[in-house]
Amino acid sequence: MEESEKLTRLAQARALVAALEANDEAEYLAGLNALAASQTQPMFEEVGRMTREVHEALMTFATDDRLNLLAEDEMPDARDRLRYVITLTEQAANRTLALVEEAFPVADRLMDRAERLQIELAQIQQRHADNTPLVDVITGLTEYLESVQQNGGVLKTELTDIMMAQEFQDLSGQLLLRVIALLETLEGKMLGLLQKIHPVSAEKPAAHTEAALSQGLGPMVPGAKPHASAAEPIKNQDDVDDLLASLGF
């Protein structure tokens, strides 16, 4: 503990004792509040800084210019746009997987048909070995059918690669949604903690009170009937910005 801090605390303690001896309850409570504030202020500032960093991280993650091109008018909240894009990506991945699954049997049928035709052409070639023009045509067809089988194998390999890539993309989208939900939960909890540590003063009223925070981030649940005195719940990142700004962060 630094000497200046030690002297400050000693002065606060003496003031408390003096107020207690003088039976000055107001002065005593004011001194207690000042002492408590000196202890909680560093924690309050650190929690506020961390909350701002979490909020900014969410906004940076969710405000890519490419996201703004998608349903910006219908979804002004950046997080909703991010979820919308992830949903579209998931739908595209599912559609791609469905098409790949349909393509596998087609490739198998092509390869099987090519193999059967090769066998039939070989039999024809044996019966008409003295017919040079026919043999030449059969030879060309046989080479083509061999390439069909080879390319069919390559096609199935590439379809497998596409399926694996799309499954990974689908898992990535699910993971992103969970990360966003986790960050939003963390943000909401930290905002609630800030309100409990340092309620907003009358001179700088917050856009939302602790009652609103207790309802959680996001829109009001349809059909819910909040208490008449409850403030409107936080709905988007602008509301969070207002609350953090009102707390000095």
Three-state SS annotation for 176-229: HHHHHHHHHHHHHHHHHHHHHHCCCCCCCCCCCCHHHHHCCCCCCCCCCCCCCC
Q: How far apart are CA 85 and CA 72, in angstroms?
A: 11
Q: How far apart are CA 67 and CA 17, in angstroms?
A: 61
Domain boundaries, the chain: 50-197
How confident is the model at residue 227, as a pLDDT? 36
Amino acid at the residue 92: A
Looking at residues 99-109, what average pLDDT do you find?
92
Query: Which segment, 66-80, 93-107, 189-203, 212-226, is predicted with the most confidence on average?
Result: 93-107
CB neighbour burial string for 209-234, b if at least 16 within 10 angstroms, e if fewer: beebbebebeeeeeeeeeeeeebebb
Q: How far apart are CA 40 and CA 34, in angstroms?
A: 10
Query: Which segment, 83-87, 92-96, 169-173, 211-215, is predicted with the most confidence on average?
Result: 92-96
Q: How far apart are CA 7 and CA 95, in angstroms?
A: 70
**How does pLDDT run across 189-225, given as a tens digit for each residue?**
766 666 665 554 334 444 443 443 334 443 333 333 3
Looking at residues 8-34, what average pLDDT do you find?
72
- Higher-pLDDT residue of 246, 61: 246
How confident is the model at residue 137, as a pLDDT? 92
How confident is the model at residue 122, as a pLDDT? 92
Q: CB of 93 within 8 A of CB of 170? A: yes
How confident is the model at residue 117, as a pLDDT? 93
Q: Where are the alpha helices (DSSP H) in the chain?
A: 3-21, 25-62, 65-68, 78-127, 132-197, 210-214, 237-246
Residue 69 pLDDT > 70: no
**Residue of 87, 84, 58, 80 whose CA lies nearest to 170:** 87
- Higher-pLDDT residue of 113, 54: 113
Res. 152 pLDDT band, cuts 50 70 90:
very high
Of 27-41, 104-118, 137-151, 160-174, least confident by mean pLDDT is 27-41
Residue 94 pLDDT > 80: yes
Q: What percent of the chain has pLDDT over 90?
A: 21
Q: Is the dihedral of CA 153, 155, 157, 160 positive or negative?
A: negative
How confident is the model at residue 224, as a pLDDT? 35
How confident is the model at residue 18, as a pLDDT? 75
Res. 116 pLDDT band, cuts 50 70 90:
very high
How confident is the model at residue 12, as a pLDDT? 67
